[in-house]
Amino acid sequence: MASIKTQFVIPAKMKTWSYGLMGVGIVAFLIGFFTMGMSSDPHKSATFWGTIMYNAVFFLLITNIAMFFICALTLGMSAWQIAFSRVSEAISAAMPVFGLIAGVLLIGLVVTKSHIYHWTDVDAVKHDAILTHKHGFLNAPFYILWTVASIGLWALLGARMRKMTAEADTHYLGAQEGQRFIWRKTVNAGLFLAWFAVTAGCVTPWMWLMSLDPHWYSTMYSWYIFASSFVGGLALITLFVIYLKNKGYLELTNQEHLHDLGKFLFAFSIFWTYIWFAQYMLIWYANIPEETIYFKTRIQGEFKGVFFLNLVINFVCPILILMSRPAKRNYTMMTFMAVLLLFGHWLDFYQIIMGSISVHHITLGWLDFGIAALFVGILIYTVGKALTKRPLVPKYHPFLKESIIHHT
């Protein structure tokens, strides 16, 4: 263990890229804020804040998925990911940063009664039977309470889990101490997953995203958001694992681990497609106007190209490229697919949110990519800093040996 590189040092290029991307993003934000965000034109204002919104929510959810990934595998007593678990932990450490940005933005949109959320208009609610019926759920206090509680407990429970895993760095864990360590990790993982199920798997997608179309609803919506977030989160973990391997770190991580990451990417891309098709097919078959309105604006309007490009990237490409065993063990191919799927699910969040905010206009342009650059820069910076704080390999973890000899 002493002969391998376990302490990450941030390369100069990584710092340059993070600062450069944040610089580009800040310039785009300022230009957009003064030309669109402060505009008296409701469409321009909504487009600006909607662009910030879908980026903030996307990066919040994919970084939170990293902790979900750790906790789900912990409950399954899975050892194979221990060799690179510090990558997932570092990505999850960026979640509070994006949580703060998204939380302030989302609460601000509700408090200021933005045009983005139609249900914040008191007069409109009074004269709308559907919004009046949903008012017990769609109201500012409830929205704010769940937003603060969701993000706050994600951050708290995630930090607690990361703190606990740090015990595997300090000293050898004997049989009894090792059992207690695994048991406490399992309990804390269960707490995180229970809260994740109530929030990310249920309430928050309804409030943050589905309420953009307050007359429309889908019982599969939260599953769809989870599936899209999960594939994005897996792609992010894969990218950082490959990056660290290329820099000479993670010597104990090999093609076997990469292969399993590839299997996860492939399997959950198919799961995302299953949810996509099930939601679309049931609404299309029933042909109820209150339900079809969501897809009507996306497949018959300006968003038609983006809507189907989303399907090509997130389903057709994975099933054609990642099905074979060699592709999942090839670092170049896995890098390409991870970047493609990360972009694909970012595009998915674009059409989910902007397809409701800017129904008659495709707004994808310099502002979208500029704001995305800002969030990518923040991500690189925060994950890089988190990677330096602990050894990249938890050398006293009871399951480390099993991870090292992992074969798939």
Model pTM? 0.95
Task: Give the CA distances from residue 253 to residues 193, 245, 249, 287, 392, in Å, rounded to whole numbers and listed in that order.
Answer: 26, 8, 9, 50, 11
Contact 374, 27 (CB under 8 A): no
**Which of 87-101, 118-132, 157-171, 215-229 holds the top average pLDDT?**
87-101
pLDDT of residue 372: 97
d(CA 40, CA 127): 25
Contact 254, 295 (CB under 8 A): no
Please give the average per-residue pLDDT across 170-194, as a whole number: 92
pLDDT tens track for 248-260: 999 999 999 999 9
Task: Give the CA distances from residue 1 to residues 6, 213, 358, in Å, rounded to whole numbers and listed in that order.
Answer: 8, 54, 55
| Helical (H) or strand (E) element with 143 | helix 140-165
| Helical (H) or strand (E) element with 276 | helix 255-286
pLDDT of residue 93: 97
d(CA 388, CA 90): 9
Q: Residue 280's closest CA among 295, 267, 263?
A: 295
Cα Rg, the chain, nearest whole Å? 22
User: What b/e readout covers 323-341, taking b as 16+ CB neighbours within 10 angstroms?
Assistant: eeeebbbbeebbbebbebb
Residue type, 191: L
pLDDT tens track for 223-254: 999 999 999 999 999 999 999 999 999 999 99
pLDDT confidence of 144, banded at 50, 70, 90?
very high
Report whether pLDDT(124) > 90. no
Structure letter (DSSP) for residue 315: I
Report whether pLDDT(1) > 70. no
Report whether pLDDT(2) > 70. no
Average pLDDT, rounded, for the chain: 93
